[in-house]
Structure 1
Amino acid sequence: MAYYLGIDGGGSKTYALLTNESGHVLGKGKSGNGNHQINAAQAANNIRSAAADALAQAGLRQEDVNHAYFGLAGADREADYQILHPMIRALGFNHYSINCDTIIGLRAGTNHSYGVALICGTGTNSAGRNPQGVHYQCGGFDYMYGDFGGGGALNIEVFRSVIRAWDGREQPTLLTGLLLDMLGYKDVETLFNDFQDHGRSVPVHAAKLLFEAAALNDAVALEILRHQGEELGKSASAVVHRLGMENDTFDVVLAGSLLTRGDRGWIRGPIEQAVKVAAPLASIVTLSTEPVVGAVWSAMEEDGLTISTETYERMRSYQEYDQIKQTTR
């Protein structure tokens, strides 16, 4: 019997999933930050903890795992891999692969080993793999390096739109009342002064107010969401062209909370338009299973397995990580 371990290490949570070669789930683990760029020592400890929990549930040892695949936020450049490979080896893993977490999101969303993934959660990222196995990542390095959006930036767009409407630089917006209610202020002047005087930060979840306002046809919210979609569409097109996939048939997988929850086409619409131009044979799909599942499938493929239809169907049935239950080996 062969065993495979998938790790999804993000900035706030790290998930581990352990299966046999048929995709039966044997163990799972969950811990905190797995991004070495935030805190390398903390990331290493959390990856170790999540993996250990999954192994313990399965009653297996680390050396029993045929291959482990690590999809890690922060695995972006060669400088990152020079840190990550020693870190993973120090945890006792010998048969393993590392890639950015965008790639495991891609793998979880398609039955192909290639395609394009767009992530829009706290931040944004895009990456792809062509049929020849060549990877390319576009973005994921913050606004200064060309990115736009994600919850960690759209929350600021909400806040500044409210300020601009208040001081006369922007048209009135429903975001004003929604933000005041969320943060508990009586008016924008009080909000402005309190944030200025005490150096307060806008909570990331303020980004969700864009969807509430857009549903009520608020022009300001609709424009921000349209801009987000256009930027992601540009990223998808850049990946397609860099990998020479213009004439290929593949999936563009949408992942991240801002793309999989709340959006009614405000972001997706511009993405679809851009992809149709860049790669007419591509299909847009929304990720419906956890990215850690893609890490397991990638581990299987790195070990030389061809994933069966039955394995795909079995593992796609797990819609939420917290609902994954241990099954009999």
Structure 2
Amino acid sequence: MGVNATAAVLAVDAGNSKTDVALVGADGTVLGTGRGGGFQPQVVGVEAAVDALAAAVGEALRAAGRGEGGRVGGGPAGGGAAPGRRERAGGGAGGAVHVSACLANADLPVEEDELARAVGARGWGASVRVRNDTFAVLRAGVDEPRGVAVVCGAGINCVGMLPDGRTARFPAVGRISGDWGGGWGLAEEALWYAARAEDGRGEPTELARALPAHFGLESMYALIEALHLGRVPGERRHELAPVLFAVGAAGDPVARALVERLAGEVVAMAVVALERLGLRDAPDPVPVVLGGSVLAAGHPQLNGRIGELLRERAPAAVPRVVAAPPVLGAALLGLDDVGAHAAAGEALRAHYAPDRNRVGANRVG
């Protein structure tokens, strides 16, 4: 079968560190895949960031037996793509390819619209829908587009969705939008408490020894100096989140309090999203998908406490860690957009994560 006759969705999941692309048929068959670098439009600009997606898209097209220069399907370059995030494709049966792009740093609807125009101008498909990449995590972890996801990686974000298209979301751009948590935020907090413990302004904590020891240093003063002068690159601060969890697991009160606070933040976001969608008191179980490196690591104190708090505040919520790759979610969202049969989604899911990512697996608490 030729690619033009069977391709329905070009799925893109682009995070800060990597991009995954899959060309998917109307029956859920994966025709080709590609991988590229991170997607950071806030650093390099929108056009340069979309340029970076092209390498992964080209790899997927080549794997599907298509030349690098050709369009996947549907309309002229820049003409047939939808400018807005709300665009829906006209159905997979017609042969036109729909681009479903779940992108990091598409935090606001206005950013999704701008990115959809930029992606649409590449002519990769007849229609385009751009969403924040947290939606990919959510859809990868549920069998239907119903539920809530909280992602805690470098930062923290939460989204929810219903089958009728309604969504719940947060700006999730940092402290100015009320966020607390994520691996980067945890590292900053750990450094703050450790510095004050060493110089006497704060209570004692094992973090004052463990954080500098991670870098082979003997004191917080030495670590502060190394970070300030660049001898330890600033981006390596993210390595300190696992140290914090280890110190907390060993019983340190300060570290445990930070982990407890993060659990509360995760649950606060999830409960608000559930309320907005009318799911907090639903009669049926509601999936709360947990994703991102911090939550996927399965720290017993963190994930166990999340389960306890959700049982108290939203009894219908069923928390679980998603194991499937987010590109699966981007592809499933695309199949939803084009009205594909349920069997297509089942086939796609079986390709990416057989027996691992059904609702009910990897339950928390």
Q: TM-score, normalised on structure 1?
A: 0.89
Cα distance in structure 2, aligned partners of 1:82 and 1:107: 20
1:140 deviates by 1.5
Pick the aligned partner of 1:239 from 267, 270, 273: 273
Structure 1 partner of 2:37: 32
Deviation at 1:284, TM superposition (A): 0.7
- Tell me, yes or no, if structure 1 residue 100 matches structure 2 residue 105: no
1:318–1:10: structure 2 CA closer, same or farther, 3 Å change rule?
farther
**1:313 counterpart = 2:347:** no
In the alignment, which of 83, 94, 100 is matched to residue 114 of structure 2? Answer: 83
- Aligned to 1:27, what secondary structure does the other structure show? strand
2:116–2:128: 8 Å Cα contact kept in structure 1?
A: no
CA apart distance, 1:130: 2.3
Letter in structure 2 aligned against 1:257 = S
* 2-structure distance, mates of 1:217, 1:306: 51
Q: Distance in 2 between matches of 1:165 and 1:154?
A: 16
Please tell me whether the aligned partners of residues 157 and 172 of structure 2 are also in contact (alpha carbons under 8 angstroms): yes
* Cα separation, partners in 2 of 1:131 and 1:280, compared to 1, 3 Å: farther
Q: Which residue of 1 aligns with 2:85?
A: none
CA contact (8 A) 1:237 1:274 kept: no
Aligned identity (percent) is 29
Letter in 2 for 1:284: P
Match of 1:276 in 2: 311
Give the whole-Å Cα distance in 2 for the aligned partners of 1:78 and 1:179.
39
SS in 1 for 2:168: strand
Which residue identity is paired with 1:251? P
Q: Can you give the 5+ residue segments of structure 2 that lack an aligned partner in the other structure?
A: 1-5, 74-94, 358-365
Q: Give the number of aligned pairs.
A: 319
Say if 2:79 is the partner of 1:69. Answer: no
Distance 1:189 1:81, change over 3 A: closer
8 Å CA contact 2:108, 2:171 repeated in 1? no
Looking at structure 2, the residues matched to 208 and 134 of structure 1 have their Cα atoms a distance apart, in angstroms, of 36
| Deviation of 1:185 (Å) | 1.6
What displacement does 1:217 show?
A: 1.8
| Higher relative contact order, chain-length normalized (CA < 8 Å, sep 6+) | 1
Mapped pair 1:160 → 2:192? yes
Query: What's the secondary structure of 1:117's corresponding residue?
Result: strand
**Match status 1:250 vs 2:256:** no
Task: State the match for 1:209 in structure 2.
Answer: 243
**Aligned counterpart for 1:173 among listed residues 171, 183, 205:** 205
Name the SS for the 2:129 alignment partner.
strand
Distance 2:102 2:227 in 1: 37
Q: CA deviation at 1:231?
A: 0.7
2:246 paired with 1:226: no
- The separation in 1 between residues aligned to 2:347 and 2:140, in whole angstroms, is 15
Pick aligned residue for 2:63 from 42, 53, 57: 57
* TM-score normalised by length of structure 2: 0.80
Partner of 1:47: 53
Map Cα deviations across residues 82-132 of structure 1 (whole Å, 9 max, x no partner): 421220111113322111111110000111211100000011000001243
Match of 1:192 among 221, 224, 246: 224
Q: Give the alignment's Cα RMSD to 1 decimal.
A: 2.3
- Contact map agreement 2:120 2:127 (CA 8 A) in 1: no
- Find the aligned partners of 1:319 and 1:58 in 2 and give their Cα distance: 26
Contact 1:123–1:150 under 8 Å retained in 2: yes
Q: How does 1:108-187 map to 2 (within 5 A)?
A: 108-187=140-219
Shift of 1:281: 1.9
Given candidates 13, 26, 33, the residue that maps to 1:8 is 13
Amino acid of the residue matched to residue 295 of structure 1?
Answer: A
Q: Secondary structure at the match of 1:38?
A: helix
Secondary structure at 2:41 match in 1: coil
Q: Secondary structure at the match of 1:18?
A: strand
Alignment-mate amino acid for residue 90 of structure 1: A
Shift of 1:311: 4.0
